[in-house]
Structure 1
């Protein structure tokens, strides 16, 4: 990785963590409505790309993934069962409803991935 890329990545992470910290300090419950999801998705786009379609192999494509898989992964990051400093910081303090809303949003996005339907 180049130094410029590394510095840019660190800056994005710090901005994302600051927004999570400010939201947590407000003491308000963040609703999991469409406005909240849109705002949260903007933060996610810093790494995972617009609408969850990452442009680099360093970050997974979220678009079109199974909703249950995404929800399980997000909860695991939040609860410390899955280790990644960036992801854990992003989802820390989010409710189950908020994680479910994010998982639902990304599962419904068009994806370059092949995801067979389960009947």
Structure 2
């Protein structure tokens, strides 16, 4: 799989942010209101997301694939069925939004994710990103490990 420079840059930026944030600390630019009320701005150029609408999308099976987001990523995005699948619960809103946009537009390659994202509108992507961002996180960084 060939990674585009943008995909590599996004991955590097998200890893750098995660490495700088202790697991018990809210990342800069995030607040408890971001998690519960949806995210109000996006570097992905998306409208504000709606957590409840995002939950409906995340738990409804896609007509083309027969899969819902939670079928692979687990309830609340925290229990993937395969260890190579990412945990989405509590993930940065913009990371999820950019990733879904890239899958939809063909700039990021994965056959299942491309077919899941192919018909998502910008509003639906914003909603899904708001939902997964609002969930409790099981994401951890390497802070404090020797």
**Normalising to structure 1: TM-score of the pair?**
0.63
1:94 to 109, 116, 120: 120
Higher relative contact order (CA 8 A, sep 6+): 2
Detail structure 1 runs of 4+ shifted over 6 Å in the superposition: none
Give the gaps of 5 or more residues in structure 1.
1-31
Distance in 2 (CA, whole Å) between partners of 1:70 and 1:113 is 14
Matches within 5 A, 1:18-97: 36-42=53-59, 43-55=68-80, 56-97=82-123
Q: 1:96: how far off? A: 0.6
Q: Is this contact kept in 1: 2:91–2:133, CA < 8 A?
A: yes
Task: Output the CA distance in 2 between the equivalents of 1:57 and 1:89.
Answer: 21
**Runs of 5+ in structure 2 lacking a partner?**
1-48, 60-67, 142-146
Number of residue pairs the alignment of both structures matches: 84
TM-score by length of 2: 0.52
Deviation at 1:35, TM superposition (A): 5.7
CA shift for structure 1 position 114: 3.3
- Contact 2:51/2:128 (<8 A) preserved: no
User: Higher helix proportion, which one?
Assistant: 1
Partner of residue 29, structure 1: none
Shift in Å at residue 39 of structure 1? 2.9
1:34 to partner: Cα distance: 5.6
Paired with 2:111 and 2:70, the residues of 1 have a C-alpha distance of 17
RMSD, aligned CA: 1.8
